[in-house]
Structure 1
Amino acid sequence: MIVNFVTAFAVTLFFSCQSDVGSNQNYLISEDSPIGEAFDVNLKYTDSGRLTAVLNAKRILDFTHRSFGYHEFPEGIVLDVIDKEGKVSKITADYAISYQQTGLIDMRGNVDIKTADSTHLQAQQLYWDQNISWIFTDKPYKSYLPGGDVNEADGFDANQDFTILNSRINDGVIFIKE
């Protein structure tokens, strides 16, 4: 009787531990779906204890499980970049995507940058390479400088402080003191 009980228990245990692969398929995430989603996000970035940036986004989709992982901001971003002197520059865009491996951020739709020194730049698309602190676009843009100068062009590249700026095919108004 004990042998029958042990055998019945072992057989029950064996069959109860089998998994039905078909029923678990519902829990697998396809590569087309994000592995995470966040709403009303307020991220603070620090470097050596100093606040360097504040990112606000209504929605973030996490696709870092892909071979070329990224974070997508389908409802846009507001990014405050804080320099070492505590001056704040504000960047807004209707859409953004940040690639993890390259450090490249692609911002699209009503990209607007207002620097701490009152330089104002507007573009439809802008790339920011975080690794080398470089900003660039091949799309038309318009900039308004603190002294009243206005510049329109078909693309530029610059360091993120805008102390180095290479602009292409310019048209604008520049005020010069005599």
Structure 2
Amino acid sequence: MQNKNYHIFINFVTALAVTLFFSCQSNTTSDQNYVISEDAPIGEAFDVNLKYTDSGRLTAVLKAKRILDYTHRSFGYHEFPEGIILDVIDEEGKVSKITSDYAISYQQTALIDMIGNVDIKTADSTHLQADQLYWDQNINWVFTDRPYKSYLPGGDINEGDGFDANQDFTILNSRINDGVILIKE
């Protein structure tokens, strides 16, 4: 009888072990669904409204429909594939508005590349339009090698094939330009 109970016990343990062995399955295929490609962004944001401050003073408001975060790359950047609207607020509270169809902001160089229907309206009513414009945030300088058109507050119009200027446009170096300058008699 003891031998019979021993065989029943061994058969039961063997059946249990076989059942457990075959019931286990690998989860590696479902885990692979969470692997992110190196080309993919590590973050994505929609309908963004960022406010930048400096010493408690509001200095800029950035609005974008979509931001892609590629800061995990060796030369990290943020991409704005659907464009930006940027309000820059000076120390006197005057607002300048910058818009573009697409933009990319590089972390290491603090350079922003704006492409497509770049439009700048400064607080003093200067209006600038360009296909592409770069803004170096480190030295507060804007520049382009592409055609642009500017409308100055006094009615002057300038068209050129490239310029560089400080961000207030009080210093402007234009290359190969043509325009209309109004002179009082």
- Tell me the CA shift for residue 74 of structure 1: 0.4
User: For the residues of structure 2 that align with 1:123 and 1:151, how far apart are their CA atoms?
Assistant: 12
Identify the match of residue 142 of structure 2 among 118, 135, 142: 135
- Tell me the CA shift for residue 27 of structure 1: 1.4
1:85 is aligned to 92
1:63 is the counterpart of 2:70: yes
TM-score, normalisation: structure 1: 0.87
User: For the residues of structure 2 that align with 1:85 and 1:70, how far apart are their CA atoms?
Assistant: 31
User: For the residues of structure 1 that align with 2:125 and 2:30, how far apart are their CA atoms?
Assistant: 59
Amino acid in structure 2 at the alignment position of 1:110: N
> Secondary structure of the equivalent of 1:139?
coil
1:117 is the counterpart of 2:124: yes
2:13 is aligned to none
1:152 is aligned to 159
- Tell me the CA shift for residue 29 of structure 1: 1.3
User: For the residues of structure 2 that align with 1:151 and 1:133, how far apart are their CA atoms?
Assistant: 22
2:33 is aligned to 26
User: For the residues of structure 2 that align with 1:31 and 1:140, how far apart are their CA atoms?
Assistant: 36
Report percent identity of matched pairs. 86
1:172 is aligned to 179
- Tell me the CA shift for residue 25 of structure 1: 2.6
Q: Which ranges of structure 1 fall in alignment gaps of 5 or more residues?
A: 1-11
User: For the residues of structure 1 that align with 2:66 and 2:110, how far apart are their CA atoms?
Assistant: 20
1:98 is aligned to 105
Amino acid in structure 2 at the alignment position of 1:42: N
Bigger Rg, which one? 2
User: For the residues of structure 2 that align with 1:149 and 1:162, how far apart are their CA atoms?
Assistant: 14
Amino acid in structure 2 at the alignment position of 1:71: H
TM-score, normalisation: structure 2: 0.84
Length, aligned pairs only: 165
- Tell me the CA shift for residue 22 of structure 1: 5.3
User: For the residues of structure 2 that align with 1:70 and 1:27, how far apart are their CA atoms?
Assistant: 23
User: For the residues of structure 2 that align with 1:124 and 1:165, how far apart are their CA atoms?
Assistant: 18
User: For the residues of structure 1 that align with 2:64 and 2:38, how far apart are their CA atoms?
Assistant: 23
Q: Which ranges of structure 2 fall in alignment gaps of 5 or more residues?
A: 1-19
2:11 is aligned to none
